[in-house]
Structure 1
Amino acid sequence: MSVDTATATAPASATTAERQDVAAPSDRARAWLVLLLAGAFEVGYALAVGGSEGFTVLSWSLVAVVFFLLTLYALSVALRTIDVGIGYAVWAGIGAVGAALLSPVVFDETLSAAKALWLAVIIAGVVWLKLADRPERPDDSDRAAHPAHP
């Protein structure tokens, strides 16, 4: 049975850079979508923890546990392809911004102009991190060292 090297996956012991070399563009796009989903679950977790009042309200506490498990699972799936530092920063940024924007809707909190400004800075940082997370194209010396990677 032959294995198509274009569709083969990197071994679990491979570094993130090696996984990125193997990951197809569609796999990278899928990883980013899963990371966005993980961020959404993180927002749900943060809001549920706030509503649990220190895990004293059972319904909110149960919702928090479910969102916690979902966000960790989705984050771990995304980090198979995305660098840990980039993925974690984006995940945390989505959670922070989402919770800050939705907490005035869910709870009796305020969103001042100053808070909105700094949330915009976080959003800009997340966008720049996404743009910076492009696998580097190997130069000719890398090709000579790794002939299997065209």
Structure 2
Amino acid sequence: MSNDTRTEAATNADHDTSVRAWLVLLLAGLFEVGYALSVGGSRGFTSPTWSLIAVVFFLLTLFALSVALRTIDVGIGYAVWAGVGAVGAALLGPLFFDETFTAAKAFWLAVVIAGVIWLKLADGPKKPVSKPV
């Protein structure tokens, strides 16, 4: 196998790893939405069913986030995760709770979404890190 072929294979593998990491990060964000909504439903952890659901979503979101952060820079990954969670909770909160959704909230959520998109676009390839032996 030539060096060019090996380099291309490594580049494709890095791209696949990056795509998987971003998909796992999106999943972590969705789990974060579930966590935020179930914490709201738990009414300060006084409802046992909602409290248990909140704990499950909490564990899922942290696990998925930690998997994604193996590949994605911590600052970018955390910002995207928090942004997805905030936008999802703000959009779904009015469906589940006595919350309002205003034009001002919609505008600022659009700003958050734009920021998440720009963070994704700014995510460049990581430099290889040598693993300890």
Instruction: Structure 1: give runs of 5+ residues left out of the alignment.
Output: 9-20, 138-150
Q: Structure 1, residues 23-64: CA drift from partner, whole Å, max 9, x if none?
A: 610000000000000000000000000010100011110000
Residue of structure 2 in register with 1:147 after alignment = none
Find the aligned partners of 1:95 and 1:101 in 2 and give their Cα distance.
Answer: 10
Measure, in 2, the Cα distance between the counterparts of 1:93 and 1:24: 25
Deviation at 1:103, TM superposition (A): 0.4
Supply the AA of the counterpart residue of 1:24: D
Alignment partner, residue 93 of structure 1: 83
Bigger helix share: 2
Shifted more, 36-45 versus 106-115: the winner is 106-115
Per-residue deviation, 1:108? 1.6
User: What do residues 59-110 of structure 1 show as CA deviations (whole Å, max 9, x unaligned)?
Assistant: 1100000000000000000000000000000000000000000000111211
Please tell me whether Structure 1 or Structure 2 has the larger radius of gyration of its CA atoms. Answer: 1
2: CA distance, partners of 1:42 / 1:111: 20
Structure 2 partner of 1:59: 49
Give the one of 4, 9, 17 matched to 1:27. Answer: 17
So what's the TM-score if we normalise by structure 1?
A: 0.75
Distance 1:73 1:32 in 2: 14
Provide the C-alpha distance between the structure 2 equivalents of 1:120 and 1:57, rounded to a whole number of angstroms. 33
User: Is the aligned partner of 1:104 residue 2:94?
Assistant: yes
Aligned residues: 120
Point out where structure 2 has 5 or more consecutive residues left out of the alignment. Answer: 1-5, 128-133
Amino acid of the structure 2 residue aligned with 1:71: T
Partner of 1:130: 120
Query: Which residue number corresponds to residue 3 of structure 2?
Result: none
1:140 corresponding residue in structure 2: none
